[in-house]
Structure formats: C-alpha cells, structure tokens
Amino acid sequence: MTTSVIDTSKKSNVIPMAIVAVLFFILGFATWLNGSLMPYLSQILQLTPFQGSLILFSFYIAVTFTAIPSGMLIKKVGYKNGMALGMAVMMLAGLLFIPAAKSQMFLLFLLAQLVMGAGQTLLQTAVNPYVVRLGDEGSAAARISIMGILNKGAGVISPMVFTALILSNFTGNVGQELSQVQIDDMADSLIFPYLGMALFIGLLGFAVKKSPLPELANQEEETSSSISEIKETLSHPNLAFGVIAIFVYVAVEVIAGDTIGTFALSLGVESYSVMTSYTMMCMVVGYILGIAFIPRFISQQKALSISAGLGVLLTLCILFVDTQSSIVSSIFLVPFGGTQLPDVLLMIAFLGLANAIVWPAVFPLALSGMGKLTSTGSALLVMGIAGGAFGPMIWGLISGMSSFQMGYAVMLPCYLFILFYAVKGHKMKKVN
C-alpha cells in the first residue's frame, strides 16, 4: 500500500477537516439514535428492562471484539479505504433493520445493532487519527474538542429527527396496550427512515472513497501488544485505574443518554423519544465550558473532581426525588414554551454536564509517564468503551427487579470511582 505524508505547508486542510467533521457528525447521529430506538422497540416488542438494555449491549459490545481487527484491517487497506469500508458496514446495518421491522424479530434487531457497532468501530478507528494529524500537533486538543461537540450535537438532533420521521404519528399510543395493527404500523414506520439512512451513509462512503482526503503516512508501528507488554502497562496504577475510570464513565454516559427515553416512556411522557436530546444538550454545554475554563482557570484534575462530585449529587437526587414532581421544568422550561417534564428526567439530563469532560480529562492523566507503553495504554483505555455495554445491562437488571428509578443506583459507585481517580488514583505510579 502506498502512503504519502500530509504536507500542511503546501495544501489547505480545510476540505479534509470538513470531511472528517461530517463523519464525526454521522458517528454521533447513529450512536445517539439508540436513545430513541430503545424505548420505541421496547414499546413495540413489549420488552422487559433487561431485554431493552440488550439493544445497547449489542451495539457497544462490538467495540470490544472489533477494535483490534479494525486496526489490523486499516493497516492493510489504508485510512481512507477504512472509512469507506466502515460506512459500508453501517449501510448494511441500516438495511438489516428492514427485515427486522417486517418480521418484528428481536434477535434481528440485535444483529443490526451489532453490525452497526462494528461499522462504527471501524470508521472511528480510521477517522480519529486524522483529527490529530490534519494540522499542527499543538492545536490537536482544540480540534478534538470541536469534533466532540459535533458528535454530541448530532446526539441532540438525531432524537428529534427520529421523532419527526417515525414517532410523530404514534404519540397517542403512550401508556396504552397496543393492538397488533398498531404494533405492525409502528414497526413498519422504521423501514423507510432506516432505508434512507443506509442509502445516505452508502453514498457518503462512496464520496469519501473518491474524495481528495489525503492518505496518512504509514508510521510502521507495531499494532499488536504482547501479553507481557500488556501486563507491564497495567502494572502502572494510574493507567490501570484509568481503564476502570473510562469503563465506568462510558457506562454512566450511555445510561444517562440512552435510558432516559425508556424511563420517560414508563412515566407516560409522550415526548419520550426526544429525551436523549436533553442529555446531549447538557453535554455540549459541558464541552464548551471545558474549552473555556480548562486549563485557563481550572486544572483537569480539579474539573474531573467537580464533575464526579456533581455526578454523585445528581444520582442521589434521581434516586430519591418524587417522580411526580415537575418543579424544575415549571420554572425553567414552561415559561419559555418548553415541555413540562418530571424533575427526575431533568436530573438525568443534567448528568450530561457531569459527564462532558471526563473522557478528555482521564485520558491524559492515565497516559502520563507511560513512555513507550503509551500506544498499548491508549488501546486498553479505548477498550474501556465496553462499559457502554455492561452499564445499561446492570441498569436493566436492577430496573426489572425493583423500578426504573432504582436502576440508576448503578451510577453511584461509578461516579465515586471517578472521584477517587480524580483525587488520588491518577497520582499513583508504579513502584519499582
């Protein structure tokens, strides 16, 4: 495979960065669509909380077993071809939703989610290096933050699009026992939107393949890590605890973003499919605040401590607030034309503020002082995304045994561990 080094002095990177920005938006759009899809399928297929959590599990577990193969594939075919292949897999996943909707088979929906997660992993593995290397290395952090805002901004929009295209004709079905005709109509309404999304992603993949996006230079780095090297990497407490911190962080991020709609449905909220947008809006605000204040006015460690503390406080409020109370929305939403919502849902949405800067804070703290083990440490941290598979599953198990509200108790130890990492865990170094 022939590769060429990107020369920023001879050509503008505006077009490549614009392409990468679009891809980050698509990644966010498809990822946070799960927050609307989960309660919608739960309503159609009459799923238990645990079964509903499998919709998220099948999506996020793909990261665990496709991340390393994705890196190996990209090494063979190149980054640009890897992006195109990733979108081809995502297109296939979108098409799988058609027979899943027609047959109303839960296993087919889970397969479609699994394929979508695999396609996203391949696309992310290919597109992320461009953010760092399309431009000056010193400004990479700013570019990463911008891409993060695009990703979460897509999370604001995708539930709204889902509601407009799919749910708008079925809002009166909330809280009612559905007839088979209603179930068939709701399932069939998924077909054309997912067909359209599949075709759009396919066309975009073809456009990327034919685009002037430059190929990244082959760094000839060894992508595989020996067992001994992994053990050596994990012997550094700041990295080992960092992997756990990323795992529990992604768990709470996905719980806050993707289960809020299911909880809203159980409370009889007709606009349940847009609830993910509230969490994502709070995350976007958190990103912007992080860019503005870190490290100019506050250190990463301090910001991480505040975020974890806020997460603990909000979790306690979620567990004990009256689900019938709507004081917060009556003060801050209704006077401005907003919807009256239970306070407990807004507390979940506010978790977006607590979650926003955790990833960008934990990563550099965990990799500090890792030297030649940095690449292996980074790979282990990325695998912590598997928390997005297991966190919601535990939430589903607790919800099924008690209540949806009590399911959020799983977040309390997660935020407490992040607080421990912010205060002490990141300072713990290997003792030789």
DSSP string, 9-47: TTS--HHHHHHHHHHHHHHHHHHHTHHHHHHHHHHHHT-
The yes-or-no answer to whether 12-213 and 227-427 have a common fold is: yes
Please give the residue that has the higher pLDDT: either 412 or 376: 412
Rounded to an integer, the average pLDDT of 288-310 is 87
Q: How confident is the model at residue 397 (pLDDT cuts 50, 70, 90)?
A: very high
> Residues for the chain: how many in total?
432
Angle between helices 275-293 and 34-45 (to 10 degrees): 160
Q: How confident is the model at residue 264 (pLDDT cuts 50, 70, 90)?
A: very high
Q: How confident is the model at residue 423 (pLDDT cuts 50, 70, 90)?
A: very high
Looking at residue 190, what is its pLDDT?
A: 93
Q: How far apart are CA 54 and CA 42, in angstroms?
A: 11
Q: How far apart are CA 137 and CA 131, in angstroms?
A: 10
Angle between helices 79-103 and 49-77 (to 10 degrees): 150
Nearby residues of 118 by Cβ (< 8 Å), 6 or more positions away: 62, 66, 89, 93
- Is the model's pLDDT at 221 over the cut of 50? no
Q: Provide the 3-class DSSP secondary structure of residue 325.
A: coil
Looking at residue 46, what is its pLDDT?
A: 92
The whole-chain average pLDDT of the chain stands at: 86
C-beta separation of 376 from 213 below 8 A: no
- Is the model's pLDDT at 225 over the cut of 70? no
CATH for the 227-427 domain, from 1.25.40.80, 3.40.50.620, 1.20.1250.20, 1.10.1660.10: 1.20.1250.20
Q: How confident is the model at residue 189 (pLDDT cuts 50, 70, 90)?
A: very high
Q: How far apart are CA 319 and CA 263, in angstroms?
A: 13
Structural domain spans, the chain = 12-213, 227-427
Looking at residue 310, what is its pLDDT?
A: 96
Rounded to an integer, the average pLDDT of 220-235 is 69
Looking at residue 431, what is its pLDDT?
A: 55
Looking at residue 1, what is its pLDDT?
A: 40
Tokens of 266: 């159980």
Please give the residue that has the higher pLDDT: either 219 or 143: 143
Angle made by CA atoms 150, 242, 17, in degrees to the nearest 5: 25
In single-letter form, the type of residue at position 424 comes to K
- Is the model's pLDDT at 143 over the cut of 80? no
Q: Give CATH for domain 12-213.
A: 1.20.1250.20
Question: For the ranges 44-48, 78-82, 105-109, 224-228, which has the lowest average pLDDT?
Answer: 224-228
Looking at residue 387, what is its pLDDT?
A: 93
Looking at residue 252, what is its pLDDT?
A: 97
Looking at residue 12, what is its pLDDT?
A: 61
Rounded to an integer, the average pLDDT of 308-323 is 96
